[in-house]
Amino acid sequence: MLKKRYIILSTCFILSILTIGAFRYSDKFFEVARGIDLFTRIYKEVAFSYVDEINPGEFMRAGIRGMLSTVDPYTVFIDEKKQDDIDLLTNGKYGGIGVSIGMRDGKVILLEIMEGYSAQKQGLQIGDIILKVDNKEFNEKNFEAISASVKGEPGTFVKLQVLREGLKDTLKYELLREEIHVKNVSFAGFVPENSTVAYIKLNQFSRAAGEEVKNALHTLNAQRKLTGIIFDIRNNPGGLLDVSVDICNRFLPKNSLIVSTKGREESSLKQYYATQEPLYKDIPLVLLVNDNSASASEILAGAMQDHDRAVILGEKTFGKGLVQTITPLSYNTSLKITTAKYYTPSGRCIQKINYSKDNKVIATPDSLKMTAFFTDHKRKVFSSGGITPDTVVVDPDLPGVVRDLLAKGMFFKYTSSIIAKNGKEDVNRMSEHALFEEFQKFIASQNYEYRDELEKKVSDLIEFTKKDKQYSQLTQKFVDLESSIKKSTAHAINNARTEILQEITAEVCSRSEGTEGRIKKYLQSDVQFQTAVELIKNSVKYKSLLAGK
């Protein structure tokens, strides 16, 4: 009798739980339906009844952006104008002429020419100013539209009218659009040339990245027996999760857990394992990271660290532990939405920012407390806030004047000017002394002035004391201080001679050897890279780091 009553009570309890669940689901369904109704009615009323004319399309997008701004910055609506970006990420290719463009002083400039495509084959040059595309003029006001105009279906043609420094007349080109395959590996080689340590620079994780890494390693190993690999994912913002898994698959032992993802429900847990025997499993491996290494880069770094397969060197990573899914919508649009968090093999979620904190929209707060976890060799690692390197090596900050010159495009403009004046061959033969002297003349001709932060603040204080009579007696003292600071900043260019020459010679190399030339030049003075090379040479230190000693 007791047993029967227990069964009945249990059944009633289960039914009550199901009923409560049904009510909760029903309440949520009602809230969503009500929200759709209200949003639709408000949109319609304002679009038709507002005192001034409303652009319905932009008004709708504003509403969508408003909703999505309450969750996280990675959940975004992608309209038809941005679909090319999705195709580029998922397929690693697009239709175009093989150029990268940007703005300089209100002009549309060619910043990069990709080797082997129409633009390079027909003689376009870095620094060329685009005036017209298919007889349509472009400037900073309609800059975003130029990319869509240059891109298009492979096999079609596009007309460009450009202005080149040193020439009076404009140049006209008719260029064939081709299928452009964007390189994930921007450089793979030996630095210096006689080294046996392979260096691979990975810029992103689009569809072909795994294959590119594999091919690069095969090619380098065929040239000479590798004694180490430096894998550079600094400033790599990430990309596709399964591509990061594919690259991990080439270095970790078979059946090793690479990453786990989990959404709102427990049943959403997915685990990704290495499915093949690793390549070069005994070769020392160093991963270079910094605070711009994010997402798929952190999945790679986290898996390598947790399994003690590589030394992570550099600076703490960005801390993006969220996974997005792209859902196609109608009218050639898409929704990129955060659907899960990912966890490294040891169980860490390295998400840095808690978007649910003080957020009325996200109902369940997510605790992101720093917690200790352990690698395979029992080394202590931590969740939250990104991947902390095994060896922290800080990249020295550039002097303020160099950052200012970079921001104003002075190195780019100077290189374009001196090549137009002397030709590539003569510029490549110029001494560093001559390059620096010519640069000083160039920035003087551009009326370049540098004001550091201290000078700006003192200038603000002068204006403040002029307005407020209470402090007027201090004005002259601040004027004298400003004069003293200006004398110091006048020497800023000479004080930063080494760093300025580094930027100039890297830009000159890029005009002759492309992206590879620029990278090789930077590596010559790259503190993090040089430290990685020395670590690989010192096998005792390398092994002790991975052993937790």
Q: Which amino acid would we find at residue 498?
A: T
Q: How far apart are CA 395 and CA 400, in angstroms?
A: 15
Residues in the chain: 549
| Backbone φ, ψ for residue 342 (5° rounding) | -110, 155
| Residue among 72, 128, 246, 306 flagged as catalytic | 306
Pairing of strands 185-190, 197-202: antiparallel
CB atoms within 10 A of CB 443: 19
Q: How far apart are CA 348 and CA 310, in angstroms?
A: 17
Tell me if 368 sits within 8 A of 348, measured CB to CB.
no
Q: How far apart are CA 61 and CA 67, in angstroms?
A: 10
Active site residue 295: yes
| Residue among 186, 295, 346, 416 flagged as catalytic | 295
Three-state secondary structure along 156-185?
A: CEEEEEEECCCCCCCEEEEEECEEEECCCE
Packing angle, helices 400-407 and 497-523, rounded to 10: 70
Q: For residue 155, what are the CA distances in angstroms to 86, 118, 179, 390?
A: 21, 11, 8, 49
Instruction: Determine the 3-state secondary structure of 110 from DSSP.
Output: strand
Active site residue 10: no
Q: Which amino acid would we find at residue 191?
A: V
- Taking the chain, what is the end-to-end CA distance rounded to the nearest angstrom? 65
Label residue 363 exposed, middle or buried (CB < 10 Å: 0-12, 13-18, 19+).
exposed
Q: How far apart are CA 4 and CA 474, in angstroms?
A: 93
Q: How far apart are CA 548 and CA 542, in angstroms?
A: 10
Active site residue 384: no
Q: What is the residue whose two structure tokens read 């394992």?
A: 273
| Residue among 320, 336, 520, 521 flagged as catalytic | 320
| Backbone φ, ψ for residue 171 (5° rounding) | -110, 140
| Backbone φ, ψ for residue 33 (5° rounding) | -60, -40
Query: What residues are labeled active site?
Result: 295, 306, 320
